Amino acid sequence: MSTLIAEARARTASPTALIEKFRAHMAEHGLEIAGPVAESRIAFPGGAAMLRLEGGTIALRIEAADADRLAEAKATVAGHLDALAPGEALGIVWTGAGAPAGSLPHNFRAVRVLRAADVTPRMRRLTLGGRNLERFDAEMMHVKILIPAPGSAGAGPEGEPAWPRLDPSGQPVLDGCALTRRTYTIRRIDAAAGELDIDFVLHGDGSPGSRFAMEAQPGDWLGLSGPGGGNVPVRGWTLIGGDETALPAIARALEGMPPEARGLAIIEVADRAEEQALAHPPGVALRWLHRDGAPYGEKLLQAVLAADWPEESEVSAWAACESATARALRDHWGGERRLPRSHFRAVAYWRQGLAEGAGRGEHD
């Protein structure tokens, strides 16, 4: 198999300092760093990035085993260098292998609504259809959905919207696209059939995701990019917690656990009507909490703090919910429970009163 190579140059006032920042940032993400600063090598999945000091600039070289890995590394290197040099125009333009500027991003797929069904009174499932969905059939469960503006129609066939395109640095840009981006969890995927399900919490038309799900009709367009995010770690006895925004992730995690798995799943929803039938191993207890008008996260936090933990050699914990509750759970698990940092994760899927992109968490 031949290696794909792309090269570029970054022009910055402080090349050595920028490489040092980039090395440190990549190390925080768990990537292997080799060589001195002037001849840096960062190992990426399926490839590597080389950053070399050359004539007051940074010479960039990406080597990858396939086109997807190459595109991901190009976007990662250029995107992080830009973010680490605010106010500077680095002028990164890739040459060599890879999709040219103006192409659709490699991790993007256009899909259409096939059907809609209400899972509960406040959760609607959209089944989406498209081609080449195999990349989304992965452990990483989250995707960015790109929602066309209400009433908008593109110039493409059947009113297909204008989708993001790559700029010369390999970054997707939405200039000229009437799209809103949000993060959701894939509930089910059948790549062979070209279908996947996404569950939407319905909370009025003030949210783009909720509004789209409420109004969706067969044939409506939606963009997907990804996948991203992690999965639910299972190490020994496992405690899982979350509200309705985490239900798709919790459901997939429970379904994917081995039959011998042990633990406890605590799920807070609006009321009894929002409970769902979830498959889970017999050794994992499932407990539903009904807010019935109580503040978001109040009952979830109380239940997790009061949960009985078994005397086990290894335990783990995961939760996804409103930001303040997630922060309290992180403090509890890392403090009072003294779990190793690698054994717990509490994710802010949303923040009370804020939309995603304005300080909110991952999900709509």
Domain boundaries, the chain: 4-96, 108-228, 237-350
- With the C-alpha atoms ordered 77, 162, 202, 138, is the resulting torsion angle positive or negative? negative
* pLDDT tens-digit series, residues 94-129: 999 998 989 999 999 999 999 999 999 999 999 999
**359 — pLDDT class (breaks 50, 70, 90):** very low
Q: What are the φ/ψ torsions at residue 252 (nearest 5 degrees)?
A: -65, -40
* pLDDT tens-digit series, residues 305-329: 999 988 877 899 999 999 999 999 9
CATH number of this structure's domain 237-350, picked from the four choices 3.40.50.2000, 3.40.50.11270, 3.40.50.80, 3.30.530.20: 3.40.50.80
Nearest to 322 by CA among 289, 351, 346: 351
Mean pLDDT over each residue of the chain, to the nearest integer = 90
Class of domain 4-96: alpha beta
Q: What fold does the segment set 108-228 form as a domain? A: Elongation Factor Tu (Ef-tu); domain 3 (2.40.30)
**43 — pLDDT class (breaks 50, 70, 90):** very high
* pLDDT tens-digit series, residues 290-305: 999 999 999 999 999 9
Evaluate the omega torsion of the peptide bond into residue 227 and state whether it is cis, within 30 degrees of 0: yes
**187 — pLDDT class (breaks 50, 70, 90):** very high
Query: Residue 276 and residue 119: Cα distance in Å, rounded?
Result: 8
164, pLDDT greater than 80: yes
Buried b vs exposed e over 37-60: b needs ≥16 C-beta within 10 Å?
beebbbebeebbbbbbbeeeebeb
For residue 335, the model assigns a pLDDT of 92
- pTM across the whole model: 0.84
63-67, 106-110, 248-252, 351-355: least confident range:
351-355
